[in-house]
Amino acid sequence: MKSYVFSIQIGLALMFFLSAVAQGDPVVLDPNFYIEKFADVNFPLALEIPPPNSPFGNFLYVSSADLRLFPGTGPPDPILRVDLTTRQVTTFYNLPAESDPVWMVFGPGTPFTENLYISSNNRDGGQYGDYGGSIVFLEPNPDANGECFLTPPPPPIVLSEPDGIAFGPGGAFGTDLFVSNTGDPPYDIALVSPAGARSTFVGFSGHTTIAFGPGGAFGNGLFVLDGQSGALSTVDSNGEFTTFVSIPSFAAPCRYAAIAFSPLGPFGENMYVSARVSTGISLFRITPTGIVTEFARGFIGASASGGAVPTFPSPDGLVFSNDRKSLFVSDMLGQAIYRIAQPRGDMDNDYDVDFVDFALFAIHWLDTGCGPQNNWCGKANVTGDGEVNLDDLRDLTMNWLEGVNP
């Protein structure tokens, strides 16, 4: 039996070396990762996963809104949740129509609650234009009205249109809620105290995406992505900006981008950024030393929609699973949530590549017509070229026995 197994392993290796055709993955550019459609969702925006053992359960929370609708014409904007085990999509809570829930984050517990905070930047009864935003928080079993933490302020009060939200990590930054404002210029980044008091932290010249570093090599500072220039900067507690990197081929305006950090794990200690570029929407991987590489491409952007929503490109959400083995991406105009994971060739989703995966791969050998509609022939079409052939076998062998415990 051992010699038979060894022969198969040698055969797989030979197939790999004999295949010299270049890889043609249309979405993920790193050969160690694959992408799959995790769930079909109408116009998904923000994504969040509660911490382990949270009363919010083992769900992926998703905000939904069709930003292309005219004021007052749309249905309620739901907060959905996707069971991370069964992938079943259910409605958790319905916000009023035209709420535009563009960002979500779970509270730290002190001095804020541990509930789900939602930046709802157009909650004004469907009125067109700026002003009227609010921040809502929902408990694990929300009542009919939810809990409005920040009520819509009249112009020109600070923070009229809340967008990205992030809780201060403590230290020099304090523990207030940091909020980027998408109303009229100067697009300030504001501070909101636990009591709801607002103040301007720093003014800015355009739409911004904000996130605090997770510690480690990235530190705990504030990162700000400029939606006009594509410059990603660090901001100190005094509001002083230092350019960290610039997103290549950046296409302005980019109102809704996303930033997620992956400390260690298969995605490495890196920052991942979704942004609008000249060819659509791409994900970029950025190292702590500032090396920028395109990680994935092919998500539907505003340019693909005929310009119907020029300032609302997608995806809008990035979030890592608690075990850091999966990156979830929302593609608003694609109306889908995707999961990126490692390694390629892991067909049974147990994070290794072994004979079970090879047996599943063999079932689809020489299949054609592979695509999103059949999950790329059960993930056997690793290269994404529409058919299962030697190129896919080569990619499977690249990760042969990856993740298998010795």
Quick one: angle between helices 355-363 and 390-398, nearest 10? 170
Q: What is the largest CA-CA distance in the chain?
A: 77
Neighbours of 321 (CB within 10 A): 15
- What percent of the chain has pLDDT above 90? 39
Write down the pLDDT at residue 358: 93
144 and 9 inside one domain = no
The predicted-structure confidence for 287-334, as pLDDT tens digits, reads as follows 999 999 999 988 875 444 444 444 454 556 999 999 888 999 998 888
How many structural domains is the chain composed of? 2
- Both tokens of 128, joined, read 């067109």
Write down the pLDDT at residue 82: 97
Write down the pLDDT at residue 334: 83
295 and 370 inside one domain = no
Q: Kindly state whether residue 283 falls inside one of the protein's structural domains.
A: yes
72 and 202 inside one domain = yes
Range of the domain at 21: 2-29+346-398
Q: Is a pLDDT exceeding 60 seen at residue 391?
A: yes
Using the 3D structure, point to which of 341, 357, 375 is the last residue of a domain.
Answer: 341
Q: Which H or E run includes 7?
A: helix 2-18
Environment class of 2 (CB within 10 Å of its CB; exposed 0-12, middle 13-18, buried 19+): exposed
267 and 328 inside one domain = yes
Using the 3D structure, point to which of 325, 341, 357 is the last residue of a domain.
Answer: 341
Q: Kindly state whether residue 154 falls inside one of the protein's structural domains.
A: yes
Q: Which H or E run includes 343?
A: none
Q: Kindly state whether residue 405 falls inside one of the protein's structural domains.
A: no
CATH (domain of 188): 2.120.10.30
43 and 25 inside one domain = no
The predicted-structure confidence for 231-278, as pLDDT tens digits, reads as follows 999 999 999 999 999 999 988 777 778 999 997 788 999 999 998 888
The predicted-structure confidence for 92-102, as pLDDT tens digits, reads as follows 998 877 788 88
Write down the pLDDT at residue 160: 64
260 and 374 inside one domain = no
Average pLDDT in the chain: 80
Q: Kindly state whether residue 406 falls inside one of the protein's structural domains.
A: no
Name the band, by pLDDT with cuts 50, 70 and 90, for residue 350.
confident
Check: CB of residue 40 under 8 Å from CB of residue 335. Answer: yes
Contact partners, residue 146, CB within 8 Å, separation at least 6: 93, 95, 136, 137, 138
Write down the pLDDT at residue 41: 93
Neighbours of 367 (CB within 10 A): 18
Q: Kindly state whether residue 16 falls inside one of the protein's structural domains.
A: yes
The predicted-structure confidence for 106-160, as pLDDT tens digits, reads as follows 999 889 999 999 988 665 544 544 455 678 889 998 876 567 666 555 444 555 6
Q: Kindly state whether residue 403 falls inside one of the protein's structural domains.
A: no
Q: Kindly state whether residue 142 falls inside one of the protein's structural domains.
A: yes
Which three-class secondary structure state does DSSP give residue 179? Answer: strand
Check residues 340 and 187 and name the one with the higher pLDDT: 340
Helix, strand, coil distribution of the chain in percent, nearest 5: 15, 35, 50
Q: Kindly state whether residue 34 falls inside one of the protein's structural domains.
A: no
Neighbours of 324 (CB within 10 A): 14
93 and 181 inside one domain = yes
Using the 3D structure, point to which of 322, 341, 360 is the last residue of a domain.
Answer: 341
Check: CB of residue 292 under 8 Å from CB of residue 243. Answer: no
Beta-bridge partners for 338: 37, 329
Phi, psi of 373, rounded to the nearest 5 degrees: -65, -25
Name the band, by pLDDT with cuts 50, 70 and 90, for residue 190.
confident
256 and 187 inside one domain = yes
327 and 184 inside one domain = yes
Q: Is a pLDDT exceeding 50 seen at residue 17?
A: no
Q: What angle do CA 184, 302, 378 make, to 5 degrees?
A: 135
